[in-house]
Structure 1
Amino acid sequence: MGLNCGIVGLPNVGKSTIFSALTSAPAEAANYPFCTIDPNVGIVNVPDERLNKISELIPPQKLIPAVVEFVDIAGLVKGASKGEGLGNKFLANIRETDAILHVVRCFENEDITHVDGSIDPLRDIETINIELALADLETVDKRKERASKELRAAGSEKAKEAAQIMPILDKLQAQLGEGKPARGIEWSDDQRILLKQLHLITLKKTMYVCNVDENGLDEDNDYVKKVKALAEEEKAEVVVICGQLEADIASLETEEEKQMFLDEAGMTESGLSRLIHKSYNMLGLRTYFTAGEQEVRAWTFHEGDKAPQAAGVIHTDFEKGFIKAEVYHCTDLFEFKSESALKSGGKLRIEGKEYVVKDGDVMHFRFNV
């Protein structure tokens, strides 16, 4: 679906370590700023135990999980909005992503340099947020200047649009001028349509990723508590993760070894798994399944999609020629153990074009082209 999460933060906070663990492919990581210049892009499988359970009941030749894309963007510094530290290039990379994972350093380690010489996650978050806000403010200022000119062409379509967007631009100037993100303002649906043309970085959904050491996983340290308090104010998600520990787990060769490591560490789920799930959900993505002898596959759709749109994820012809869909939920399969038992129990339904697909549906589409 082309949706992705950009991993951002100050230099040396653990972005590339986390990215490498996510993708199990080494991104350049070093103890100096700007070791990542061009963004690394990784396609990551979405862990989903439901997929495995379905395959146990409907054994396939192939098992294909859903995926989500992550982009590792170089560290930003003060002055990035003015070009410091290749800032303009990095900001452009962030603008092209659909959501932001803001990695924050929440651990002490004298061997890993911090660009500001001390650990202060709220200061670090503010540094990044101000730079992103200033970059957006420049965009807003330019649009407002153009809108002012368009207003002079009274009666034209451009003048009407300029009159609609001008109050929005005024609100944005005040908010961004204080270094606060555009997502902090309550916007109506109509306003959000107009906002899309601005491609604002600070309007993107954001999740804070607290990178801690191994001792910080058992209970929140003071740094994590501060980040969580800020996130609560912003209504943002938070994930606590030990980047180095996750990198160690990812370096293991087999799933059995990884599970043994988790068991020994007293972890039911890896931090990366939580991060992937929350990122997937933050992007508004959900999963339905197709199941048969050839393959059991997880397909990604947008929350709220109707059956024809979900069918179009497989192939555009499925959407164009959609007739109906045979649907049951995977939890019913887990209960009844087979599709034939599902049918006998009245759990298999025929749905039409207005059916809103649910996360966990198992679907078979009928179409005609």
Structure 2
Amino acid sequence: MEAGIVGLPNVGKSTLFNALTSAGIASENYPFCTIEPNVGAVPVPDARLGTIQSFIKTEKTIPAVLQLVDIAGIVRGASEGEGLGNKFLSHIRTVDAILHVVRCFEDADIIHVDGQVDPIRDIETIDTELMLADLQSVESMLDKARRTARTGDKEGKQRVEVLEACQALLAEGKPVRSLSFDDATLSKMFKECQLLTAKQVLYVANVHEDDLTGEGPHVMKVRERAAAEGGAVVPVCASLESELAELDAEERIEMLESLGLDEPALALLARAAYELLGLQSYFTAGEKEIRAWTIPVGATAPQAAGVIHSDFERGFIRCETYSVADLEELHSEKAIRESGKMRVEGKEYVMQDSDVCHFLFNV
């Protein structure tokens, strides 16, 4: 699963990306300094890994990972080829969700492309370009679908229905992510369109060090905007997080304590992005490693097993599972088994967040 980081030039996208991935690449104060999208893997902080390790001793722990794509700054007119135009928009099309970085701090040394800081204007600039690009895509697909529908083709008629619904929303200046179809076929067709504004968005408010909790007027405007859309906001000081990423563990803890923080804001961001993508974790635990595995919410036990290896899904027999809470209560798998809380689940079992599993399979 991938999330793409988008925003106007000079809002702190690359600084944030580098801090998240500890890439250590210094970003310059120039528009379009990111020519190709950088891709990085970000561990998703999860205290449950430590909890499991406190009762099951192991050589290492491996967290879940979220893949991030740093997409170069979009400018007004990108949908018509301004800046690096549709090249950037095509990169967004391939990701599963969008992290929209919005500048919410004042700094005379960092030039804003529009001259002054206005987060709502910035959001609307990005949204407009994505909607215009979608409208172009929809109109192109609609012409083809209508020609097919005129031949009496049932699938063509259904595609016209989906595309016309998208076109109507976009023409009103609204993203299509609010659309949903009860019919499974129409829903599948909608997803296959890969429209930019169909993707879920998490707003990342890049704040100054004196507003780490995001209570300033700029951030409050973004919060209001997100609330109206049913979305969320994570305040992050990208420059501070970049500093924290370069420190060793002990120095990082000291700096966080001096700021009155429990953890880096990037930890909150990684978890929020994970949730945005509709993901959850289950765990495997043994002598060699304790590991968090990423699955979509609603995944079945065989699908979860397939994340480890396709053979596990193909030859799935059953899984033995318990929760992290069971381990906290009873302190060992032996005690869990003896208490009757070790459950045996079959192919229809829907995985729950915090499951710890042992899979049995035969290929």
* TM-score interval (norm. to shorter): over 0.9
Choose which of 286, 295, 317 in structure 2 pairs with 1:323.
317
Mapped to 1, the partners of 2:181 and 2:252 lie a distance apart of 44
TM-score normalised according to structure 1 size: 0.95
* Partner of residue 5, structure 1: 3
Matched, 1:226 2:221: yes
Change (3 A) 1:142 1:218: closer
Mapped to 2, the partners of 1:150 and 1:34 lie a distance apart of 41
Mapped to 1, the partners of 2:246 and 2:267 lie a distance apart of 15
Deviation, structure 1 residue 189: 5.0
Equivalent positions of 1:1-369 (< 5 A) are 3-154=1-152, 159-190=153-184, 191-252=186-247, 254-369=248-363
- In the alignment, structure 1 segments of 5+ residues that lack a partner are none
Mapped to 2, the partners of 1:187 and 1:232 lie a distance apart of 23
Secondary structure of the 1:26 match is coil
The Cα offsets for residues 306-356 of structure 1, whole Å up to 9 and x where unpaired, read as 111111111111111111111000111011111112122221111111111
Deviation, structure 1 residue 219: 5.0
Deviation, structure 1 residue 30: 1.4
Secondary structure of the 1:118 match is coil
Deviation, structure 1 residue 218: 4.1
Mapped to 1, the partners of 2:100 and 2:12 lie a distance apart of 11
Mapped to 2, the partners of 1:57 and 1:47 lie a distance apart of 19
Change (3 A) 1:61 1:218: closer
Deviation, structure 1 residue 77: 0.3
Partners of 1:4 and 1:71 within 8 A in 2: yes
Partners of 2:78 and 2:86 within 8 A in 1: yes
Mapped to 2, the partners of 1:251 and 1:193 lie a distance apart of 44
Count of matched residue pairs: 362
Partners of 2:180 and 2:187 within 8 A in 1: no
> Partner amino acid for 1:299?
W
Deviation, structure 1 residue 125: 0.3
Identical columns (%)? 54
Deviation, structure 1 residue 298: 1.1
Mapped to 1, the partners of 2:192 and 2:285 lie a distance apart of 40
- In the alignment, structure 2 segments of 5+ residues that lack a partner are none
The Cα offsets for residues 68-110 of structure 1, whole Å up to 9 and x where unpaired, read as 1001000000000011001111000000111000000000000
Secondary structure of the 1:12 match is coil
Deviation, structure 1 residue 28: 4.9
> Partner amino acid for 2:189?
L
Deviation, structure 1 residue 179: 2.9
The Cα offsets for residues 227-274 of structure 1, whole Å up to 9 and x where unpaired, read as 11111111112111111111111010x222212211111011211000
Partners of 2:214 and 2:235 within 8 A in 1: no
Partners of 2:214 and 2:220 within 8 A in 1: no
Partners of 2:207 and 2:237 within 8 A in 1: yes
Mapped to 2, the partners of 1:188 and 1:230 lie a distance apart of 27
